[in-house]
Structure 1
Amino acid sequence: MAQTIYTAFQQSAQQWPDHDFMLVLPETADAYDIPAGAISYAQAQQEIDRLAALYSAAGYGHGHRVGMLLENRPAFFLHWVALNKLGASIVPINPDLRAAELEYLIGHSEMILAVATPNRHTDLGEAALKAGQTMGLITPDQTPPPAPQKAPRLDQAITIESECALMYTSGTTGRPKGCMLPNQYFHDAGDWYAQVGGLATLHKGRERMLTPLPLFHMNALAFSAMAMVKTGGCLIVLDRFHPRTWWESVRKSEATVIHYLGVMPAILMKLELTESDKNHYVRFGFGAGVDGSLHQPFEQRFGFPLLEAWAMTETGSGACIIANEEPRYIGTNCFGKESADMEVLLIDDEGNPAATGTNGELLVRHAGPNPRRGFFAGYWKDQPATDEAWADGWFHTGDIVKRDEHGYLHFIDRKRNVIRRSGENIAAVEVENVMQQCPAVRSIAVAAVPDAIRGDEVMALIVPHKPLSNLEAKQQLATEIVQWGLSQLAYFKVPGYIAFVDQLPLTSTNKIQRGELKTLALELLNHPDCVDTNHLKKRQEI
């Protein structure tokens, strides 16, 4: 049995040495300034072993953590597996993160090295200095410097329980939580996908899976990448989702499976109808969040099913649900029903089981003697949060779900105070904590407002230091605040709307009244004085 991701890849490279493992399309090659073309399993194995030898010679090993800021370059995967061979863990870094976020991530994770594109070395170096963390910096083509410290678990065997990645996800506390993901997590994710069957059946040695989703998220790294490793398929990673060239990429790559976020079908449906809409090899799409009104029209137009699924970074495949069998109840936000390998409980606000047809919080666990199998190992440096998430032996997801009379599950909403924008989880408290430091802000509260394309958009209610006399002054100050925010936060977290108010809705203990805030944000959204700053929220060149 394979104990590590490295051994799993090694087995596939032995079985399918000449098969394509990764494909870099010309448009992605141009974006990254890297060679286009396919990388075979044998070629990847050779490069992984070369990199592992370099890391080993430099003293990296079991228990070390290495940051990865490489976007969707093949080097991300190759360095990950090389480090995994030695028992080192990676910390995937979202390239959209900026000063305050990087400082926290580097200090909290205690990474001792970061592998990053050259243009981000200054940012990372400054953040490490502020965090007080000794950290080396290399490009993916450079030889790693000597490790600053001995590997903490050098004398311990590398096992399936060894940490493989520390992946950060937004929570309700305002700071991202570091999910410790063991080798088992990635093995189980790949095996789950390889064996789930139905409309999501993967054929060994034949699949070509295209994803625009980032490798620093669990969907692409745990499910897409590991599914291809386990089945000898080809992973096609785009630098990002490009609507106008999407179908050209699908056709050129001969993709048989695509991964999507709910925003993608909405955008693709706005493209002009063409005779080649069904001219592709795609058998199914795997994703979540498609607009119910677009679900069936999309499938009819493009000729393949969008299989809605549910999972979290914390749950991995230990509790993953997918609508891969008929009936799928298209257009009802149905994501199927649980398999025999997992258990589901819906509870009401009092903690009692929710009746059929009524909303309840989704609680999940793996079936059998180990209810946490396939899940994260816990939150790094936050055992209380881990214990709270696993209260009463169930993982509390914070998602509100309804079970219909046929036993199928339908997604309703999120209980947690998390803004869901284009597939990104944004903690309102984190945005507030950072934006509060802007010199122009006296106090701030952030809430989600609906967006037809992105699901949610970030809206900020801000109390300025002095009253603003007219709309022009409000627009000018809002622009200044957002531009400041863009230097500190990923662009998607920065407010897309700003309303200046005299005071925030607070409790007697000066805590934000979230319910009242949400109501007020919706009221102010359409007010003439509400400033739309969405045009400033552009992905920065990196």
Structure 2
Amino acid sequence: MNPSDNLIEAQELSPLEVLRQYRAHDFTLSAFLAARVAQHPDKPALLFEGETWSYGELAARIARTAAWLSHDMHIRAGDRVGVLSANHPSTVVLMFALAQLGATLVPANPDYRLDEALYVFEHAQICGLICSPNTLDTAAAVVSQLGGDVWLRANEAGGHGQALTGESEADTELRAEAASTAMIIYTSGTTGFPKGAMHGQRGYVLTAEAFVGRMHLQPNERVMCVMPLFHINALMYSVGGALACGGCLVLVRRFSASSFWRLAAESGATEVNLVAAAGSILARRPREEFVPGHRISKMFIAPQTSEMVSAMRHEFHVARLIECYGMTEIPGVIANPFHGPHKLGTMGLISRHPDPDISPPQARIIGEDGKDVAAGDSGELLIRTPTLMQGYYRDTAQTDAAFRDGWFATGDLVRQDDDGYYVFVARKKDVIRRKGENVSGAELDRVFGEHPAVEEAAAIGVPAELGEEEILLAVQLRAGWEVGATELVDWARDRLAAHKLPRFVVKVDQIPHTPTHKPAKHRLKADACLLARATDVAG
């Protein structure tokens, strides 16, 4: 440990001390934010493209927007309003304004095509839609097809003017309850149509406050948000975490690897959350893009690779990289402890709320017989947590199917090591059955992704001549690099058991992704030409 770290830690407030700076609240978003505003109304709350809002200014904008929604747009408790936009302060304002009314935010990926956006917003039964100027055409088409009284506004100057500039000063009745649904986040839809995970206001606040504990966020924190605001990580960890500690949210429209370090240095950001793909991209970017004067000292990122960790710590001088585990349905459950030990390649330990009176998450690992597995064995991870979703919107069957006797079934196969750390094995639906053995597609993605010529890899199962499956590996090579299929498989022989080595290798221009930047393996499997183009390494 760097000697300066000891000084930093000695001056550090504990997570519980950070939260207890603020008055008690009722676990609604309005009361949660009001406690921060009362404590420091003039402190910076949000920074976006050179403009800074104080806590008092943020609260005032939320109040005006809530009045506009209530009096002009006739939003009532239980109504749902969609968002189709890159990151913008209006989404943060809208979330809190809707929550004040007991209404619900439904954010979607701004890169959605018409059919994708239409499915989400039609299923969510929205009564209004906020878009950015560059998504206006798609948003207008969605509203046209939805028909009825669904309204459309833009969040910046554009074809429909500015949406969130309501100037009504009329008092707005506070209709929020802790049990009110704050947001519906649609899952990536890797195995079918997306499902809308509903999260209540209490769950949001608990997750935000728990993130203060996971990352030991301090009152002077500047949390840089580059992940999209249709993602649970950005909405609950970045936005919620920044406000929970009384820090400042540094909001960025979109992740840009080339400008990341410059923006970090200019904004004074101290913490950032990233997906693994973004971390790997940064680790491989030209070093002249790095800005030594940045203040980022901690990152929340998973899964991690040794290459990523080495670059971040030794070249980019980020002291702590916290590896974790989460799902849209169960935010804030498992993470590596902030002060360690940090175990690369693990999900970590149960991550609880700083307040000891808040029940901690619970976990079980069960086998196919439904019973707890023996120590060290792998099985499906089940979770109970105060931050659990309320269910899938308008989908009782999928909600019921997601639970086992009151425990949420993650669909992930995991095991615990000798120290109790949870280790990810595979998605149940990402297991390839080959010659009587189960092979984790995620493991192959990770191993082949570490080859110096490989930008990204994705392994899928394809039908075998004699039943079960063979392994096909799709690889996206780094610009300017080349490697043969046989050479690539030979490289992995010392890293993988023989039955895990792919039989087929195919080079692709780009690995397709889900909206949360996971390999969209269902799209690879649906590509009938993929196997025909692949090299048969065994042949």
Instruction: Provide closer, same or farther for how the CA distance between residues 91 and 338 of structure 1 changes in structure 2, counting only shifts above 3 A.
Output: closer
Mapped to 2, the partners of 1:296 and 1:323 lie a distance apart of 19
- Which of 365, 371, 376 matches 1:357? 376
Please, what is the CA RMSD of the aligned residues? Answer: 3.6
The answer for the alignment partner of 2:362 in structure 1 is: 343
Q: Does 1:384 align with 2:397?
A: yes
| Distance apart, 1:336 and its partner CA | 3.5
Mapped to 2, the partners of 1:376 and 1:48 lie a distance apart of 25
- Which of 139, 143, 147 matches 2:154? 139
Mapped to 1, the partners of 2:430 and 2:148 lie a distance apart of 31
The answer for the alignment partner of 1:509 in structure 2 is: none
Mapped to 2, the partners of 1:123 and 1:499 lie a distance apart of 26
| Distance apart, 1:168 and its partner CA | 0.5
Amino acid at match of 1:354: V
Mapped to 2, the partners of 1:381 and 1:157 lie a distance apart of 23
Q: Does 1:168 align with 2:186?
A: yes
| Distance apart, 1:88 and its partner CA | 1.4
Q: Does 1:99 align with 2:114?
A: yes
The answer for the alignment partner of 2:438 in structure 1 is: none
- Contact kept, 8 Å, 2:262 with 2:291, in 1: the verdict is no
The answer for the alignment partner of 2:230 in structure 1 is: 216
Mapped to 1, the partners of 2:151 and 2:311 lie a distance apart of 51
- 1:109-163 Cα deviation digits (max 9, x unpaired): 0001001123433322323443456411012365879xxxxxxxx9995310001
Mapped to 1, the partners of 2:280 and 2:196 lie a distance apart of 32
For 1:416, what is the secondary structure of its paired residue?
helix
- 1:75-103 Cα deviation digits (max 9, x unpaired): 11112212221111111021011121122
The answer for the alignment partner of 1:181 in structure 2 is: 199
- Which of 34, 46, 60 matches 2:60? 46
Instruction: Provide closer, same or farther for how the CA distance between residues 101 and 458 of structure 1 changes in structure 2, counting only shifts above 3 A.
Output: farther
| Distance apart, 1:73 and its partner CA | 0.7
- Contact kept, 8 Å, 2:46 with 2:248, in 1: the verdict is yes
Q: Does 1:193 align with 2:211?
A: yes
Aligned length: 428
- 1:216-243 Cα deviation digits (max 9, x unpaired): 1110111111111112111112222222
The answer for the alignment partner of 1:409 in structure 2 is: 422
| Distance apart, 1:380 and its partner CA | 0.7
Amino acid at match of 1:104: Y
Percent same amino acid at aligned positions?
27
- Contact kept, 8 Å, 1:460 with 1:499, in 2: the verdict is no
The answer for the alignment partner of 1:82 in structure 2 is: 97
Instruction: Provide closer, same or farther for how the CA distance between residues 217 and 342 of structure 1 changes in structure 2, counting only shifts above 3 A.
Output: same
- 1:182-211 Cα deviation digits (max 9, x unpaired): 101211111101234xxx21112x000112
Mapped to 2, the partners of 1:280 and 1:2 lie a distance apart of 37
**Normalized against structure 2, the TM-score is what?**
0.71
Mapped to 2, the partners of 1:195 and 1:253 lie a distance apart of 23
Instruction: Provide closer, same or farther for how the CA distance between residues 100 and 275 of structure 1 changes in structure 2, counting only shifts above 3 A.
Output: closer
Amino acid at match of 1:387: D
**Normalized against structure 1, the TM-score is what?**
0.71
- Which of 18, 24, 29 matches 1:5? 29
| Distance apart, 1:338 and its partner CA | 5.0
Gap runs ≥5 in structure 1: 26-35, 146-153, 367-372, 420-447, 462-481, 502-519, 529-542
- 1:351-391 Cα deviation digits (max 9, x unpaired): 3322333322111113xxxxxx2111000111121122121
- Which of 258, 261, 266 matches 1:247? 261
| Distance apart, 1:282 and its partner CA | 1.7
| Distance apart, 1:418 and its partner CA | 11
Instruction: Provide closer, same or farther for how the CA distance between residues 374 and 491 of structure 1 changes in structure 2, counting only shifts above 3 A.
Output: closer
Instruction: Provide closer, same or farther for how the CA distance between residues 295 and 334 of structure 1 changes in structure 2, counting only shifts above 3 A.
Output: farther
Q: RCO higher in 1 or 2 (8 Å CA, sep ≥ 6)?
A: 1
Instruction: Provide closer, same or farther for how the CA distance between residues 43 and 129 of structure 1 changes in structure 2, counting only shifts above 3 A.
Output: same
Mapped to 1, the partners of 2:334 and 2:138 lie a distance apart of 36
